[in-house]
Structure 1
Amino acid sequence: MSLETAAADANYGTTASGSSFYAAMRILPRAQRQAMFQIYSFCRKVDDIADSDAPRPERLAALQQWRDDIDALYRGHPPARLQDYVASVRRFGLKREDFLAIVDGMEMDVPQDIRAPDLATLDLYCDRVASAVGRLSVRVFGLPENDGILLAHHLGRALQLTNILRDVDEDAGLGRLYLPREALLLAGITGDDPSRVIADRGLPKVCLPLAERARIHFQKADEVMNRNSRRMVRAPRIMSKYYHAILDLLIARGFQSPRAPVRVGKMARIAILLRYALI
């Protein structure tokens, strides 16, 4: 390994070290680990743009620059910030359209904050910001094409729906509401003001069906992983078990206000890592 490669690996690892996926990425062989750190770094950078306090036109322009840079990468003229990605793109066959889908997903929050999207829009959002990341990742893990795409579909949605349920109060503080409009109406909630919705007594009637949808996606993801090599699915299995534990904690806590934050304890995280990474 060259000094430059070692430095880049350390840099990407530092960027990812605050991620809940860090342990799952860290167990991978070097080339796979580097590629996953690069994918994570890319996601962090475009997400930071979408979530920044910069004026919306500036954020839109910054995201468009990322699209232009991705296009340049795939034309064989990578800009400096994507130069290190060339080897990973070639080695693992990473798809341009998946990188662009992630940018498109992050941009969905920029022209205006998402508030009570319909189910189709919510599913599109989950596909772009989560399942597209999964489609890049499963190529790095080496899964067969069809099972890889299927795993990305189900696990991406399971993780993102769990995120939405976990972060409902935090998102409301940012003026965002990802809970689907149809579920709100079924619960008798007709507005889309985030602060009012999260205080509504009917909120559990919205969140519990969404939790069940996430649970089904976890189950479908498990079915895919169970028929593939344990070595290939070690990292996604760790991600799945960690987030499934979060979902279980959310359901056990309930969704009625006030809602205490939930966290998977250190020993539980270690147990997941030991069971699926080392044993």
Structure 2
Amino acid sequence: MSAPASSVLGASEAAIAQGSKSFATAARLFDPRTRADAVMLYAWCRHCDDVVDGQVLGHGRVASAATPQARLDALQEETARACRGQPGSHPAFVALAEVMARHAIPARLPMDLLAGFRMDVEGRRYGTLDDTLGYCYHVAGVVGVMMALIMGVKDEHVLDRACDLGLAFQLTNISRDVIEDAGLCRLYLPADLLAAEGVEAGAVADPARRAAVARVVARLLDAAEPYYDQARIGIRALPLRSAAAVATARAVYRAIGSGVRARGAAAWDGRVSTSRMQKLGLLAGGVAVAVGSRFTAPAPARPAELWTRPR
């Protein structure tokens, strides 16, 4: 590996170590080349998210004279250059350009992710579960598709399963972070589900409404389950080490959702996460799922009512 490439990878490794312990745990199972490319893709995603939100690795606040809209516009320009193979000097865009070239990732996919960030910048609200799932595609499903391409997937049906896992992850993230997001004036819970519980959009963070919000979140976690199930079907099509990494990530995020559900109205008294020992157990389980997937039968037809990624 050349010195510049090594530097880009080093910066990317630092980003994942500090920005996502859940993903970092699963990523250890990838073969070295896949891990390097997955980590570099993550670094670009993390950088864009931080720039839009004015944070560092998802935390704090960074002073900036530019508006979120202006920062996003600049990210789109830099990303477009990286997609053309002409990145600037920032390690995140150099990393993106390398990964896209190596795996023939279509330019529309990173642009789809930025479109999701634009929904945040515009303060988009979501009327139905389908609307929320559309947002989930842009900020997570499309990342699943890019990750699958890095793992060597070409089959569109397997790419669909990767998108399904991204949708499930994001529904879990929304459920865990709903009160924190409300403090940032962001609301991803479907308006019709809130209305059914008598919760107004502006009252989501009201402690007196926690039980009602927990019931809405439980429905969101219920909605995530068929996407987690579909994702397991796709694991059998991945190389074994990649399958183990994906199965572990799936188990970790699903466990977080289970923790949110179990705590009910107290779910947001502290951040729900998995302990180191839990992660090790889930990692072992992920390896077992990956090995077992080598012996499973072909997948049944996907339920027609599930949300489908755009082609």
TM-score, normalisation: structure 1: 0.88
**Offset of 1:115 from its aligned partner?**
4.7
User: What residue number does 2:296 align with?
Assistant: none
User: What residue number does 1:66 align with?
Assistant: 75
User: What residue number does 2:111 align with?
Assistant: 100
Distance 1:144 1:84, change over 3 A: closer
Within the candidate set 10, 29, 32, 1:30 is matched to: 32
Does the Cα contact within 8 Å between 1:175 and 1:194 map onto a contact in 2? no
The separation in 2 between residues aligned to 1:33 and 1:258, in whole angstroms, is: 33
Distance 1:249 1:130, change over 3 A: same
User: What residue number does 1:160 align with?
Assistant: 170
Q: Structure 2 counterpart of 1:15, which letter?
A: A
User: What residue number does 1:247 align with?
Assistant: 257
**Offset of 1:100 from its aligned partner?**
0.7
Matched, 1:119 2:129: yes
Does the Cα contact within 8 Å between 2:161 and 2:231 map onto a contact in 1? yes
Does the Cα contact within 8 Å between 1:189 and 1:197 map onto a contact in 2? no
3-state SS of paired residue (1:17): helix
The separation in 1 between residues aligned to 2:8 and 2:185, in whole angstroms, is: 36
3-state SS of paired residue (2:265): coil
**CA RMSD after TM alignment:** 2.5
Q: Which moved more, 1:71-80 or 1:206-215?
A: 71-80
> 5+ residue gaps in structure 1?
none
User: What residue number does 2:120 align with?
Assistant: 109
Q: Structure 2 counterpart of 1:120, which letter?
A: D
The separation in 2 between residues aligned to 1:24 and 1:257, in whole angstroms, is: 24
The separation in 2 between residues aligned to 1:80 and 1:248, in whole angstroms, is: 42
Q: Which moved more, 1:54-63 or 1:244-253?
A: 54-63
TM-score, normalisation: structure 2: 0.80
**Offset of 1:197 from its aligned partner?**
8.0
Does the Cα contact within 8 Å between 1:115 and 1:177 map onto a contact in 2? yes
Q: Structure 2 counterpart of 1:16, which letter?
A: I
Q: Structure 1 counterpart of 2:102, which letter?
A: R
The separation in 2 between residues aligned to 1:275 and 1:143, in whole angstroms, is: 23
User: What residue number does 2:6 align with?
Assistant: 6
User: What residue number does 2:17 align with?
Assistant: 17
> 5+ residue gaps in structure 2?
55-60, 292-311
User: What residue number does 1:234 align with?
Assistant: 244
Within the candidate set 184, 205, 211, 1:174 is matched to: 184
User: What residue number does 2:198 align with?
Assistant: 188
